[in-house]
Amino acid sequence: MSTYDDIQNIEFDRPGRGKTEEQIQKHTLDLHYVDKPIEKNVYLLTCGDDIQKLSVIQALPQLIKSDPQQTYSRIIPKILEELPNSSCEFQVITSKTFKGLMEKQVPSNLFHAVLQGIESRDTIVANSWMETLIAIIPVLNQTQLKSDILPLVQKKSQLAQPLLGRIASCKMLGKIAIHQCLDADEVKREVLPLAQSLCQDCHPEVRSAICTQIPCIVQGLGTTILRGDLLASLVELGSDDNMYVRSASVSAIVHIFPYTTLDVKKTTLLPLIKQLCDKALKHDDLTATTIAKEIGKILDGLQYSLTIPECLWFLNFYKRLSTKGLNNDEFKGSDASMDVTCRQQAAVNFPPMISFVYSNIPTQIDSLYSIFKDLAGDPCFIVRKTIAGCMHEIIKLYDANSKILKSDFVRLLQDDSEEVLNSLVPHLGTTLELLCEFETLSRLNVNPATLEIGRALLKCQFELTTRNNWRLSTMFLHQFERLPNCMPSDFIHQHFTPILLTCAAKGRARPVRVQAVRTLVIFLRYNGKEMQRRWIRENTVAQLCRSDSYYTRLIYIKLCAAAMDIFSDKYFKEYFYENLLDLAVDPVANIRLCIVNMIMSLKQMLILPEDKQLNERFNTVLKRYTDDEKDRDVIKAFQLKSKEMKTYEINKEEYKKEQKRRRDEEDRINAGAKVSVLLLPKKDTSRFTLIERG
């Protein structure tokens, strides 16, 4: 039987253990290199292994910042010396580092290393250096462009060259065409023939690649496109048998609109686009999705070229895009996911379609609404999510006609998909205000729409409380801050205030409870009836401030922090101040700690002669913290705040001006005036949060 010492010996003599120590010794540098980064990195490039050399490359930008002269004269030459015989990984990392340096126009001659790198026999290395070369073309000078890059592009664009080389030459042509050193004539002479040749390439990937660069070439040519053959090449690409080439031609057409005349649009581009649309209806390919993605820009670019029948034709085509793949549509493709993407892109472009219809064929509003109804009720949540995300834009564009959208808005509010709500909720407040602006909702009267939308909001709130997405619930309650702008205060008080109070007192997630009390304070602020305001104040004190739950009492402190942001000091001192001071003697130390963190704000309110009684109460609290406090964290925080109070100064004029504005607004609300609610930013009240202690 082996003894314990024997086992220890076996562990010590395990194979590989000595090798590990040897590696540690190998990677340990002499101490005299510690404070000499240039010497250290030269040594690593000379004697280090691949990992150490890679670390030098990655540290190159920092070395240039700290010691540029030595880095240029010693480190970079050493890197260039190591490159020819280095590993693939070293070359790839170096190419990316050089790209970053050259894009910032670092004064070092790295250009020839890039040119050498693209000739590597290793495909991965050559492609990495080619990406670097394409990226740095904009910062090259005229000599480099004409002496090195143009001959290289001519070479790489030949049919005998590898496929990746020809694709790279397409990308380089686009960069060259918009280079500041070349004028339109030079682009026409040097770039255009190569581009036309690549448009005729036998491989569809090359034709697709050059198609994406046509807008850059057109930009470089200016109006030369009208007397050149590039437009004819684009027409040919739009008729290509390959769907990827046709799809790329759609995007190219959209991007050349700014450089074309009205006549070119009418005679050439419009027929080409209609041809592409017809092919998209007959073929199950990517072109339909690309057209759906670009349809808004297409119609915006062509709208002055279209007749009424052509406008109707495009509206009908858009309707088919928005229902692609549904029911027994002959436009249905074999790939359901591509159909969904097509409908989703159609939903993205619904706001531009509204502008198009209103401007050109306003009699077709009903047809447009039927398209919207289909998108809002699409069986796939992705499409509904997209249309929900632009609901506020749609209502704004529909203007006075937005009343017809009410039932669809309610349906989206009650959607089963959380993704749809995630898209709808961030703009919910804006949407409700727009509905009020266009008289679907009213701040003065409870109409049927108010009841229907109110029920939908309450149902949505109930559904969210049963789920675990506290971020969405918090955002939803945040949007409720706009309700006083959209609905009568009696309706809000009757239906929404009790829900918020329950959420604040019994909610699960703290952020949700904090947002609930902030929204509750907004409701209190803009409620015009004293009886209802008193009900809110009394119930928040009873259910929050006097709660047996420590966490719930913390929520009341959050409520007071929100009230400081929203109410005038006069109102706060009358209804919140003393209840907050009561928590200064709370049995839980963290509650007292939160009050300590607020004493600066509490102190600055007591500046009027009539504050004498509150001042005495406040000083009593300070004395209690000074004499009787036992908790070390509370004592430490109090001492810190006491020092701050002695040196803290405020701009009294600005402070008085702001307080007067708040008091005047409160007086107007109390007198029955309707005041618009601004969606106030959430203040950082982290200083009032629970401090975890070890």
Last residue of a domain, one of 415, 438, 468: 468
How big is the chain, counted in residues?
A: 694
Sequence-distant (6+) residues with CB within 8 A of 489 are 523, 526, 527, 528, 529, 532
Range of the domain at 461: 390-468
Q: Which of 27-31, 132-136, 217-221, 590-594 has the least mean pLDDT? A: 27-31
Q: Secondary structure of 340-360 in the HEC alphabet?
A: HHHHHHHHHCHHHHHHHHHHH
Distance in angstroms (rounded) separating the CA atoms of residues 633 and 628: 14
In a domain, 286, yes or no: no
26 half-sphere exposure, CB direction, 13 A CA radius: 12
More confident residue, 260 or 50: 260
> Rounded to a whole number, what is the distance in angstroms from the first to the last CA of the chain?
48
Distance in angstroms (rounded) separating the CA atoms of residues 384 and 408: 11
More confident residue, 622 or 646: 622
- Flag whether pLDDT at 17 surpasses 60: no
Distance in angstroms (rounded) separating the CA atoms of residues 174 and 451: 58
Q: Which of 228-242, 362-376, 418-432 has the least mean pLDDT? A: 228-242
Distance in angstroms (rounded) separating the CA atoms of residues 77 and 141: 22
- Flag whether pLDDT at 682 surpasses 80: no
pLDDT in tens, 448-470: 999 999 999 999 999 999 888 99
In a domain, 508, yes or no: no
Find the helix or strand (DSSP H, E) in which 29 lies.
Answer: none
* Residue 11 confidence class, pLDDT cut points 50, 70, 90: very low
pLDDT in tens, 59-71: 888 888 888 888 8
In a domain, 68, yes or no: yes
- Domains in the chain, number: 2
DSSP letter string, 87-102? -HHHHHHHHHHHHHHH
Last residue of a domain, one of 114, 135, 156: 135
pLDDT of residue 24: 43
Distance in angstroms (rounded) separating the CA atoms of residues 416 and 322: 21
pTM over 0.85: no
In a domain, 242, yes or no: no
- Flag whether pLDDT at 407 surpasses 50: yes
* Residue 130 confidence class, pLDDT cut points 50, 70, 90: very high
pLDDT of residue 693: 37
Distance in angstroms (rounded) separating the CA atoms of residues 229 and 226: 8
Q: At what angle do helices 243-256 and 287-302 cross, to 10 degrees?
A: 20
- Exposed, middle or buried: residue 516 (CB in 10 Å: 0-12, 13-18, 19+)? buried
Distance in angstroms (rounded) separating the CA atoms of residues 246 and 239: 7
In a domain, 100, yes or no: yes
* Residue 689 confidence class, pLDDT cut points 50, 70, 90: very low
pLDDT of residue 290: 94
pLDDT of residue 382: 96
Q: What is the mean pLDDT of residues 529-545?
A: 95
User: Backbone phi, then psi, for 199, in 5-degree steps?
Assistant: -65, -20
Distance in angstroms (rounded) separating the CA atoms of residues 276 and 283: 10
pLDDT of residue 34: 53
Q: What is the mean pLDDT of residues 74-91?
A: 85
Q: Which two tokens stand for residue 331?
A: 């436009």
In a domain, 126, yes or no: yes
Kindly compute the dihedral angle of the four CA atoms of residues 516, 522, 526, 531, in this order, to the nearest 10 degrees: 50
More confident residue, 687 or 573: 573
233 half-sphere exposure, CB direction, 13 A CA radius: 27
b/e burial code for range 372-386 (CB count within 10 A of at least 16 → b): bebbbebebbbbbbb
pLDDT of residue 63: 84
pLDDT in tens, 169-213: 999 999 999 998 888 888 888 999 999 999 999 999 999 999 999
Helices (H), 530-597: 530-540, 550-566, 569-575, 577-582, 589-596
In a domain, 23, yes or no: yes
Distance in angstroms (rounded) separating the CA atoms of residues 589 and 162: 74
Sequence-distant (6+) residues with CB within 8 A of 194 are 153, 154, 157, 169, 173
- Determine the 3-state secondary structure of 333 from DSSP: coil
In a domain, 75, yes or no: yes
Q: Give me the long-range contacts of 97-102 (CB less than 8 A, separation at least 24).
A: 97/57, 97/58, 97/60, 97/61, 98/132, 99/131, 99/132, 99/135, 99/136, 100/61, 101/60, 101/61, 101/64, 102/132, 102/136, 102/139
Q: Which two tokens stand for residue 670?
A: 């109390």
Last residue of a domain, one of 403, 437, 468: 468
Helices (H), 120-162: 123-136, 142-144, 150-156
